C-alpha cells in the first residue's frame, strides 16, 4: 500500500478518534449534569417530605391542645397524608381524617365562603359542628397517634 494512502487512513482514523472523544466527553458531561439534577430533585423532595411530616406533627399537637377546629385539622391532615403516607388514610385510627373530609368537603372555603349568604353559612357551620362533635374523640385519638407515628 502506498505511503500516501497509509497517511490518509491514519489521518481519517485520528479524525474519527477525535470525534468519538468529543462525543464521549459531551455525553459524560450530560450524564454528570443529569445526575446532579436528579440529586437536587431528590434532596428537594426529601426536604419537602420532612416539612410535610413536621406540619402533620404541628397540626396534631394543635388538635391535642384544642387550638384548631377539628374539621380544619382533618382537611389539612388528609391533604398532607395523601402526599406523605396515603395508605394511612385507610387504616384506623387515621381513617377518621378521610371520613370527616368526605362529610365536609362540599362546604365552601376561602373566597367561596365569603360569597355565600350568611343563612347558608350558618346551616353549613351547624352541620360542620355536628360532624366535629360526632368524631371528636376519634380525631383526638388519631391526632395523638399521628404525632408519635414514625414516618419512614
Q: What is the DSSP letter of 89?
A: G
> What are 127's three cell numbers?
352541620
> What are 60's three cell numbers?
396534631
In terms of residue numbers, what domain contains 79?
Answer: 3-148
Res 120: pLDDT: 82
Res 121: pLDDT: 79
Res 110: pLDDT: 74
Res 116: pLDDT: 75
Res 48: pLDDT: 96
Res 123: pLDDT: 87
Report the phi/psi class of residue 150: left, alpha or beta, with left for phi > 0 and alpha for psi in -120 to 50. beta
Total domain count for the chain? 1
Say how far apart CA 85 and CA 26 lie, in whole Å: 40
Total number of residues shown for the chain: 152
In three-state secondary structure terms, 131 is helix
Say how far apart CA 52 and CA 55 lie, in whole Å: 5
Per-residue pLDDT tens over the stretch 47-96: 999 999 999 999 999 999 999 999 999 999 999 999 999 999 999 999 99
pLDDT grade for 17, boundaries at 50, 70 and 90: very high
Per-residue pLDDT tens over the stretch 109-145: 778 777 777 888 788 889 989 999 999 999 999 999 9
Res 67: pLDDT: 96
In three-state secondary structure terms, 102 is helix
Q: How far is CA 119 from CA 99, 104, 125, in A?
A: 26, 17, 10
Res 134: pLDDT: 93
Say how far apart CA 35 and CA 22 lie, in whole Å: 20
pTM confidence score: 0.76
**Between 108 and 150, residue with greater pLDDT:** 150
Is the distance from CB of 75 to CB of 101 less than 8 angstroms?
A: yes
Res 119: pLDDT: 83
Amino acid at each position: 500500500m502506498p505511503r500516501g494512502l497509509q497517511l490518509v487512513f491514519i489521518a481519517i482514523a485520528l479524525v474519527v478518534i477525535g470525534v468519538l472523544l468529543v462525543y464521549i466527553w459531551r455525553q459524560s458531561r450530560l450524564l454528570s449534569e443529569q445526575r446532579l439534577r436528579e440529586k437536587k430533585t431528590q434532596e428537594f423532595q426529601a426536604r419537602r417530605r420532612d416539612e410535610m411530616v413536621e406540619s402533620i406533627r404541628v397540626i396534631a399537637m394543635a388538635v391535642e391542645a384544642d387550638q384548631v377546629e377539628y374539621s380544619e385539622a382533618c382537611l389539612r391532615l388528609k391533604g398532607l397524608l395523601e402526599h406523605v403516607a396515603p395508605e394511612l388514610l385507610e387504616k384506623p385510627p387515621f381513617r377518621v381524617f378521610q371520613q370527616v373530609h368526605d362529610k365536609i368537603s362540599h362546604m365552601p372555603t376561602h373566597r367561596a365562603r365569603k360569597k355565600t349568604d350568611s343563612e347558608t353559612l350558618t346551616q353549613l357551620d351547624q352541620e360542620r359542628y355536628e360532624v366535629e362533635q360526632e368524631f371528636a374523640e376519634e380525631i383526638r385519638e388519631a391526632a395523638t397517634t399521628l404525632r408519635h407515628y414514625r414516618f419512614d
